[in-house]
Amino acid sequence: MLLKALAAGRYADKVIGSYMGFDIVAQSKMLLTETPIVLLKGELTHKVELSESGLGSIARIENAIRNLDRNLADNQRNLGEVRQQMEAAKQQMQRPFEQEETLQMTLQELVSVNSALDMDKPDDENVVLNENQGEDVLGIENEGEEELEQE
């Protein structure tokens, strides 16, 4: 009967029953190929995928309810671990950066290398050409462009 109610679609987002203290709410109408889903509403909402049979669906709902205590304990343990990690990260942020001196020396070396590399470039290499006029920014015509136009 639960699967028929879901398939009909007219009970979408409505309480269609209750079980073990939870309201069973039909999920909004879904495609024919999707697994039917109900929501168990108590203090929080829990999603349960149903099976093709009525007994299998009841077993899945029972398993979801039975696993709530275990899921709560797992989530509380994970929360404790995340809080510890956050405190460790806050403490790490308060300490000075241990490789600061090495970083500064490497950055100075990088600046030296970059300026040495720039010394080999001719000054006119950075000139921007104006494609519409065939002239560069300084007003000098491009030599190769005239030859292309004549061909």
With a CB cutoff of 8 Å and minimum separation 6, the contacts of 139 are: none
pLDDT digits (tens, 9 = 90+) for 120-147: 666 555 555 555 545 444 554 555 555 5
For position 77, what pLDDT does the model report? Answer: 96
Q: What is the pLDDT of residues 67-84, one digit of tens each?
A: 999 999 999 999 999 999
**Statement: the pTM of the whole predicted model exceeds 0.75:** no
Task: With cut-offs at 50, 70 and 90, classify the pLDDT of residue 54.
Answer: confident
